[in-house]
Amino acid sequence: MKFFIDTANLQQISEANDLGVLDGVTTNPSLMAKEGITGHDNVIKHYLAICNMVTGDVSAEVISTDFAGIVKEGEALAALHPQIVVKVPMIKEGVKALKYFTDKGIKTNCTLVFSAGQALLAAKAGATYVSPFIGRLDDVSTDGMRLIEDIRTIYDNYGYQTQILAASVRHAMHIIHCAQAGADVATCPLSAILDLLKHPLTDIGLAKFLADHAKGK
């Protein structure tokens, strides 16, 4: 399973990248705003800064909601850097745009996916990635992981090549369950990735090994 980091924070992207396990980055307008990145030119500069820090795919989200606007924005984003993946919302005009981008060879990430039917449409339109938001489903008493499992079954039934990019990941167990369910990618906060490291027996074991080694000095 690929690990993407779900942030626009350059320091966190750098820390995840230094760990050597980072395969890409996802952003959205809220994550950009959280870092104080506003205005078209600043947002574009920030995407380029991210692309220059990592080697994998970097999702850049369109703001338009009409077909012509999504296409214009998406083509401009894709032209910025070969690592850019155009992030398109799961709306009617978005599905049309996904198909357009697919035909043009432009990589896409279909975002704001909350049902298997939406994921099926994204795959039919040829999306490179589909982003089911598991945490936001859990927030409304709906099993986000069940959606990942359902999409995996549907895609495997027909051999759809669209990659399942589990989004809205909130904690380490989400990452484990995504891997068990066969998600292709999990996009995670840095904290959830680092939490995978933790086990008290590792800490206790290491302290003992170091203490025993020190006895011989």
Catalytic residue positions?
Answer: 87
Q: Are 26 and 6 in contact (CB under 8 A)?
A: yes
What's the rounded Cα separation, in Å, for the pair 89 and 54?
Answer: 24
Question: 197, exposed or middle or buried, with CB in 10 Å at 0-12, 13-18, 19+?
Answer: exposed
What's the rounded Cα separation, in Å, for the pair 119 and 194?
Answer: 29
User: 3-class DSSP state for residue 45?
Assistant: helix
Nearest one of 36, 28, 62 to 136, comparing CA atoms: 28
